[in-house]
A and B are shown apart, each in its own frame.
Chain A
Amino acid sequence: MKVPVRRFDAIIVGAGGAGLRAAIQLSEAGLKTAVLSKVFPTRSHTVAAQGGVAASLGNSEEDHWHWHMYDTVKGSDWLGDQDAIEFMCRKANEVVIELEHYGMPFDRLDSGRIYQRPFGGHMSNFGEKPVRRSCAAADRTGHAMLHAMYQRNVKANTQFFIEWMALDLMRDEEGQVLGVTAMEMETGEVTVFQAKATLFATGGSGRIFYSSTNAFINTGDGLGMAARAGIPLEDMEFWQFHPTGVAGAGVLITEGVRGEGGILRNSDGERFMERYAPNAKDLASRDVVSRAMVTEINEGRGCGPARDYVLLDITHLDPKIIMSRLPGIREISIQFAGTDPIKDPIPVVPTCHYQMGGIPTNYSGQVVVPRGSTMNMPVHGFYAAGECACASVHGANRLGTNSLLDLLVFGKSAGESAVEDMKKFPKAHKDIPPDAIDRSLERLVRLDAQRDGADVHETRLAMQRTMQNHCGVFRFADKLREGVARIHEVAQQVGQAGIRDKSRVFNTARLEALELDNLIEVAVATMVSAEARRESRGAHVRDDAPDTPERPNGRDDKNWLKHTLWFKEGNRLDYKSVKLTPLSVPTIELKKRAY
């Protein structure tokens, strides 16, 4: 089959924050750059980010990148690589000011400087007291960021391929990445995008869980493509959960609701947080609240016909307060829970929010894999940034406002590395081996030929329920073991999933089937990695790894201070050490993570 070929210096897959930032770097260096995206760039999931972007500008009070670095290492529960964390925190001011120059409408102080507000986990003087470090544009930070960077790309002549879905990574025998195959939604035709540099910025994969705050586009396409092409996935057991997502929908109910006096109740109507956190009660930290909720549900005190959620009660609050201080919450509850929170409590469950793991990279944004005696050999021609990548700065748990910073810093550094690497290596594109496109074509042919295949929606639901029930916010050895067996069964079904509508033009059924191929790789990686890690660390909390004096919070540094690598081939796990040596400052020494 003859497949058209398009040649670029650089191909970026994904046009959210990381992809757009990387594209600026490449296009402004004069390189012919293409960005492929399933949706229009300003409709990427970055649009949902509200909190802001962290930078130690010190506009309102004294601040320092070293304090920010300390907070990030501590937040990561010491699983973050300290070289990458120093790099990110030191670069923060530069990338935020660049963004300001691109036209980002940051909130401002009377002096004209960028206004900064406090955010959970960000402290001054190595954990002493909260500091104002988050730069925001009202509650539309992500939205404003996408706009500013999209405009900059238009000016820099970045070529956008909108409503194209990348299918597979192309590599040659030496493992060099040569580009991607992609499908144009309007025609259903496949094209080869050949490039000297291929950069993944495909975002997170939160749709592997039944309850997720992620938009439907977050299907881990970059992770699926990487895994199929032999690239391992790093630290996939670490997912951040938010305690209060609307049950059955996933839409976030902000922490502000509990701040205004909202109370969590079980099926007995009991304010159960009083038992788990007698002082902080409903305002305890996210992980404490989430685990308490799951314990209530697991012990049979959940609400509803399936006893699978708890209630967030604000019926005792003055309706005027609800309307004035919690705008939008009533509408969210009516729309997605079918209850008016002024009269009835809101059903909520802990909900998947952010993926800490991803495609392994160094702080230069180069994708790295084990090879010979090194665990971090760059893959020639391959880069990744943003939520799909694992640099690793978030380690076992991400701090709020560090995700927008991550995508700016590593979008830029990945773009810069691609520019520099292209200067070092021969200019011509390498030939694409004839079989490099076979994987994509075979997937499409199978999908068209499949008779009586498993239904895509039902199979996806089976995957999501398996992940939620066996690998959720609070994890149990026996549940994880069962989960590994179950998720492999679901993976078998995915391999035989079929679609009835075989049409070519904007066939959403086909697109969803192709997305499921990616989701399932992430789901298997997550379950297998989580089952194997027999400790609690950050967002990965196991019932059989409790808090003891030798193992604070269940963390086992002697055996588990290491990154997981999951390989699709052979469903194999490997491990690599955490980089505890920063670039210029002393190591931030291990200690118990407590706030």
Chain B
Amino acid sequence: MNAPCEQPVSGINRGRLRWHCRRGLLELDLVFTRFLDRHFDRLDEEQLKVLERLLAHEDQDLWDIISGRGACEQAGLQGLVELLRAT
């Protein structure tokens, strides 16, 4: 069941982030759905900010990063990418 969406966590709205995990590529939908089910409710504010930055990438770039074909140039995202890959 979804976490209630009304209370933003220091400006980051969990419902909005959850919606931003809806993508144009099925591969990303599947990876993020698994991730949301297993980890989303436990992410702290810092991790949510990292997720927000990761989700700002274009679909093709994001899939390259997650599938290990492309490097993640932004610092600080690698930990979350590892978690996504491992889920």
Contact = CB atoms under 8 A, between A and B. Distances in A.
Chain B associates with chain A: yes
Contacts of B68: 331
Contact of A143 (B6, B27, B59, B85): B59
Given A48-B24, A140-B60, A506-B19, A249 B4 contact: no
Contacts of A45: 24
A140 B62 CA distance: 13
In this complex, which of A212, A213, A507, A511 has the most chain B Cβ atoms within 10 angstroms of its Cβ?
A507
Given A327-B69, A511-B19, A143 B1 contact: no
Interface in B1-54: 1-2, 4-6, 13-16, 18-19, 22-27, 29-31, 33
B23 A215 contact: yes
A215 B4 contact: no
Interface in A373-399: none
Contact of B30 (A44, A143, A336, A505): A336
Interface in A35-49: 38-39, 42-48
Contacts of A251: 26-27, 30
Contacts of B67: 328, 331-332, 335
Instruction: Give the size range of A's interface with the partner.
Output: 35 or more
Contacts of B22: 38-39, 43, 215-217
Contacts of A46: 24
B60 A504 contact: no
Contacts of A589: none
Nearest to A146: B24
B58 A143 contact: yes
Nearest to A351: B26
A175 B15 CA distance: 37
B24 to A, nearest CB: 4
A214 to B, nearest CB: 7
A331 B63 CA distance: 11
Interface string A8-48: 00000000000000000000000000000011001111111
A125 to B, nearest CB: 36
A577 B11 CA distance: 57
Nearest to B18: A508
A38 B13 CA distance: 17
Nearest to B26: A215
Contacts of B24: 39, 42-48, 215, 217
A506 B18 contact: yes
A508 B26 contact: no
Nearest to A508: B18
B59 A214 contact: no
B19 A47 contact: no
A56 to B, nearest CB: 28
Interface string B49-79: 0000000001110000001110000000000
A528 to B, nearest CB: 27
B73 to A, nearest CB: 18
B87 to A, nearest CB: 10
B69 A163 contact: no
Nearest to A206: B26
A473 interface: no
Contact of A507 (B5, B23, B31): B5
Given A39-B24, A507-B15, A143 B2 contact: no
A462 interface: no
A355 B41 CA distance: 36
B13 A506 contact: yes
A528 B59 CA distance: 36
Interface string A31-71: 00000001100111111100000000000000000000000
B43 to A, nearest CB: 16
B29 A501 contact: no
B29 A215 contact: yes
A331 B16 CA distance: 29
A93 B57 CA distance: 32
B52 to A, nearest CB: 13
Nearest to A40: B20
A420 interface: no
Contacts of B2: 501, 507-509
B16 A503 contact: no
A48 B58 CA distance: 12
B1 A328 contact: no
A231 to B, nearest CB: 26
In this complex, which of B1, B24, B29, B69 has the most chain A Cβ atoms within 10 angstroms of its Cβ?
B24
Contacts of B16: 185-186, 505-506
Given A331-B69, A504-B6, A505-B13, 10 more contacts: A47-B24, A47-B59, A186-B16, A214-B26, A216-B33, A331-B68, A335-B67, A503-B6, A506-B5, A506-B16
Interface of A: 38-39, 42-48, 140, 143, 163, 185-186, 212-217, 249-251, 327-328, 331-332, 335-336, 500-501, 503-509, 511
Which 9 pairs from chain A and chain B are nearest by CB?
A: A506-B15, A47-B24, A331-B67, A216-B29, A43-B24, A506-B16, A503-B6, A503-B5, A47-B59
7 contacts: A48-B25, A143-B60, A185-B19, A332-B27, A503-B5, A505-B6, A506-B16
